[in-house]
Amino acid sequence: MLFLYISSVQFLDYSAAPKVVDIESELDEMGEFLLVMAQERARKAGVMADILVRRGNFSEVLKDVVQEYPIETVILGSSTGDTGVITEEYISEITEEISREYDVEFIILK
């Protein structure tokens, strides 16, 4: 099992560069913290899991990881309501494309 956290600061393209570097690092640290917590919960349930923190465009990073690791199934969480940045339509497009291209099954949790 592999827990993946993808961060992107693309929304800060017009901000001061030093701030962006700081925010990128903080997002990476937060992501790693969340993944370590998930990894520990999995371990307590008898499941061994690795963690991976990546930066970049969500769909591109997801494709890269699917190519790099022997992944058969990807489970994605989906936010509900207006709180999420990524829409269900976007998730559907990405998952369909990656499924066709790499023969990977996707499960979307809501």
- In this prediction, residue 70 carries a pLDDT of 93
Question: pTM for the full model?
Answer: 0.80
How many structural domains comprise the chain? 2
Same domain? For 28 and 44 the reply is yes
Quote the pLDDT of residue 77: 81
Q: What is the pLDDT along the chain (110 residues), one digit of tens a residue?
A: 999 999 887 666 666 566 666 788 889 999 999 999 999 999 999 999 999 999 999 899 999 999 999 999 999 887 666 656 677 888 889 999 999 999 999 998 87
Looking at the structure, tell me whether residues 7 and 38 fall in a common domain. Answer: yes
- What are the contacts of 22-30 at 24+ separation with CB within 8 A? 24/55, 28/53, 28/55
CB neighbour burial string for 72-89, b if at least 16 within 10 angstroms, e if fewer: eebebeeeeeeeeeeeee
Domain end call among 53, 75, 92: 53
Structural domain span for residue 88: 57-110
Q: What confidence score (pLDDT) does residue 84 get?
A: 60
Pair 37, 72 in one domain = no
pLDDT reported for residue 15: 61
